[in-house]
Structure 1
């Protein structure tokens, strides 16, 4: 019975986790749509409220609309006119106290992470953690800020150290470049290795030092 039970877990666990992640993502998209509808209900005439409520309750319509808006925004932002409007929008946001700090920070982070020209999360490395002699996999996210680098001796790099089995949380660390060992395995392989707590071995790669 134990053997069959474990076999069943191995079949259902990946599917359950995949469904959970997809459900979470879809609920976020649907929540964005719901917030927009609620804002419209607060400013539009009361006569339109029942129609908006009925539209909001249509299954899946919020997710489809949010995805369509994101794609349409991407199409517009990819041309010259769209970039002009984005710059104008950024200038307006930059004049709003508090909001401008949050907006600019999130924009810089998202631009670094999702840009095809960025180096964030492009390389998996080994770093000594939590002590010398023990090693863990981390991802290079860039170079330290100029002020930080000026107060440190030697060359350092920024890394993100994900936790296991949930790699969406973790630690931001600044480590000496001399202590880093660069891995040839890709980011996806490294993530699988981390999430599986080391039980899923990546493809065979050689290991080289960053020194």
Structure 2
């Protein structure tokens, strides 16, 4: 009985988690789209409210609308006129108290992570953490700068040590480059290794079929 229950769990668990994550994402995007529609009702005449309400109940329309908005924003930001307006927008956000600290921090992180010429999370390495002789996977995020770099003698690198199984939380460390061991595995392979708690290594074979589950 236990063998068959485990075999059934191995079949359905990945599918269930995938469906749950997709449902959460679709629900979040539909909720964002509904919020935009609610804000639009205050700006449009009452004759258009009925049409907006019909759009609110179309499943998946929020995903299409958000993707279209991202695409149009990207096209706008890629030309000279759009870049000028974005600079003015950044300058305005940089003058609002409290907001500027949050906005500038998030913008710097997002620009580093997602820009085509960024180096963050482009290299997986091995580091000794949390003590000597204990190794874990980390990701190089750059090099220390400013006053921090001036106070660190020698060649240092900045690394991010993710937690398991949730890699979105972790620890930021600055370590001598000589203490960092480079890995040939890709960042995706390293993340899979971390999330699986070391069960799924680079180049690992898929789990056996349900009929071959062990006792």
TM-score normalized by the length of structure 1: 0.86
What SS class does the counterpart of residue 159 from structure 1 fall into?
A: strand
Residue matched to 1:20: 20
**Larger CA deviation: 75-84 vs 109-118:** 75-84
1:121 alignment counterpart? 121
Q: Secondary structure at the match of 2:127?
A: strand
Residue 73 of structure 1: aligned partner? 73
1:74-125 per-position Cα deviation (integer Å, ceiling 9, x unaligned)? 1222222222222222222223222222222211111110112111000000
How far apart are 1:50 and its partner, in Å?
A: 4.7
Contact 1:120 1:142 (C-alpha < 8 Å) held by counterparts: yes
The equivalent of 2:140 in structure 1 is 140
Q: Secondary structure at the match of 1:160?
A: strand
Alignment partner, residue 103 of structure 1: 103
Q: C-alpha offsets along residues 123-162 of structure 1, whole Å, 9 cap, x if unaligned?
A: 0001111110000001111112311122223322211111
Query: 1:208 maps to what in 2?
Result: none
Contact 1:33/1:66 (8 A) holds in 2? yes
What is the CA deviation profile of residues 23-65 of structure 1, one whole-angstrom value per residue up to 9, with x for unaligned ones? 2322332232233223334455566545433332322222211
* Equivalent-residue separation in structure 1 for 2:41 and 2:100 (angstroms): 26
Secondary structure of the 1:185 match is coil
Question: Could you tell me how far apart the structure 2 residues matched to 1:156 and 1:27 are?
Answer: 43
The answer for the alignment partner of 1:190 in structure 2 is 190
1:154 equivalenced with 2:150 (yes/no): no
Secondary structure in 1 matching 2:85 = helix
- Report the Cα distance in structure 2 between the residues aligned to 1:38 and 1:99, rounded to whole angstroms: 25
Structure 1 vs Structure 2 CA RMSD: 2.1
**Post-superposition, which runs of at least 4 consecutive aligned residues in structure 1 deviate over 6 A?**
none
Question: In 2, distance between residues paired with 1:17 and 1:169?
Answer: 20
Helix, strand or coil at the partner of 1:11: helix
Separation in 2, partners of 1:148, 1:120 = 19
Query: Given the superposition, is the C-alpha separation of residues 35 and 163 from structure 1 closer, same or farther in structure 2, using an over 3 Å criterion?
Result: same
Instruction: Describe the SS at the equivalent of 1:64.
Output: helix
TM-score (norm 2): 0.84
Provide the C-alpha distance between the structure 1 equivalents of 2:191 and 2:83, rounded to a whole number of angstroms.
34
